[in-house]
A and B are shown apart, each in its own frame.
Chain A
C-alpha cells in the first residue's frame, strides 16, 4: 500500500549478502589452501606498496595546516559521507505514501477539493456501529498517483471473513453514493482468537 521501493530493498540486501559471502569465502579459502595463502601475502604486500606510493605522491598543500597526509583521503571522506547520506535517505523513505487529498473536481465557477479526512471519518463512523467488528481504521495512500483508501478492520472471534467483507463493501458503496465518485479501496481483515465478546460460562 505504501510507496516503499521493494525492488531496491531486495537489491540492497542482495548486494550486501553477496559482499559478505565473497569476503567469507575468500577468508575460508585463504585459511584452507596453503598455495592461496602464499599468493595472498604476495598480492597484499604489493597492493599496500602501490597504495603507499600513491599516498606519498599526493601530499596536501601547506595552507590546510593541521591536516597532514595525502589529499586522496579527502576524496575517500567525501565518498564515505555521500554513501552515509544515500543510506540514510534510503532508510527514511520507507513506509511513506500517505495523502491528504481524496479528490478534486474542477467546475466552471471554481474547484472543489475533498480532504481524505471526510472519507476516513465517515467510513470509520459507519463501521463503529457494527457489533461484528471490534475496531476499524481508515487511511489514504497514493497508489499509482491515485488516492486509495485502506480500510483495516478487526473482527470478533468466529466471524466469517465474507460477512466482514460484505459489511465493509456495503459501507463503501454508501460512501460512493454520498461522494458521487468511486475511490479504489483495500480492505484488510484481521483479528480472530483474542477478540472474544465475553468469557465462556461453565455450569456445574
Chain B
C-alpha cells in the first residue's frame, strides 16, 4: 500500500459503496420523458393544434382546480408523493454499502465478496466439525460471520473446536475490518450429514 496509498484508499472506498447509478439514470430518463411531453404540448399549442393529453391552459386550470377535486384523491396523491420523495432522499443519503470486504495487502487494493469469505469459512467449519461441506452454511455481514451447522443425526459437534478453527481462518484472511464468529447448531440433525 505504500506507494499508492491514497489511490488505493479511494478505490477501496468506491468499490465498497454503491455508485447509485441505476437510480440516477432511471430518474434522468423519467425526467427526460416528462420534458419531452411538455415540449410536445407547448409546440402543438403554438401551432394551434389540439394537445396530446392537455394543452398548457388546461394544465394551469387543473392546478388551480385542485381544491375542488375530491380531497381523498388529492390527499392520496400527496401521501404517495411524500413517500416516494422520502425514499429518494434515503437512497441519496445512505452509504449503500455493498456486501464486500477489504483485504490488507501490499501490492494492490484487494476487495473480496462476502460470498467468497462465507464459502471459505463454510469449508473450514465443515472440516473442523467432521461434516459434509453442504451441511455448513455461513452468512457474512459487515461485522459478523455466522456459521450454521446441521449435524449428522445422533452425533454431537464440538462447537469450541469449530469456533477456534473459524476464528483462526478469519485471522489468516487479514481483513481490514475483522469479523466476529458465531456458531449455531441446528437442533435437528440430518441422516447422512
Q: Are B116 and A161 in contact (CB under 8 A)?
A: yes
Task: Please give me the residue from chain A that is nearest to B70 by CB atom.
Answer: A31
Report if A69 contacts B (CB, 8 A). Answer: yes
Residue-wise, chain B 63-76 has the 8 Å CB interface mask toward A (1 for contact) of 11011100110110
B160 within 8 A of A: no
Q: Is B21 within 8 A of A24, CB to CB?
A: no
Question: B21 to A9, Cβ gap below 8 A?
Answer: yes
With A10-B20, A10-B92, A48-B64 already in contact, the answer to whether A20 and B111 are too (CB < 8 A) is no
Report how far A51 CA is from B57 CA in the complex, Å: 11
Q: How many A-B residue pairs have CB under 8 A?
A: 260
Number of B residues near A (Cβ < 8 Å) is: 83
Residues of B close to A169: CB separation below 8 A = 105-108
Q: In whole angstroms, what is the CA distance A47 to B123 when docked?
A: 70
Secondary structure class of chain A's binding surface, majority of residues: helix
Taking the closest CB of chain A, its distance from the CB of B10, in whole angstroms, is: 7
B: which residues have CB within 8 A of A? Answer: 3-4, 7-8, 10-11, 14-15, 17, 19-21, 23-25, 27-29, 31-32, 35-36, 38-39, 42-43, 45-48, 60-61, 63-64, 66-68, 71-72, 74-75, 77-89, 91-93, 103, 105-113, 115-120, 122-123, 132-134, 169, 172-174, 192
Question: Can you identify 28 A-B contacts, CB atoms within 8 angstroms?
Answer: A9-B20, A13-B20, A13-B23, A17-B85, A24-B84, A31-B71, A31-B75, A41-B67, A44-B60, A45-B64, A66-B48, A84-B32, A87-B28, A157-B133, A165-B112, A168-B108, A168-B110, A186-B108, A186-B110, A187-B105, A187-B108, A187-B111, A188-B110, A191-B116, A193-B115, A200-B132, A200-B134, A202-B192
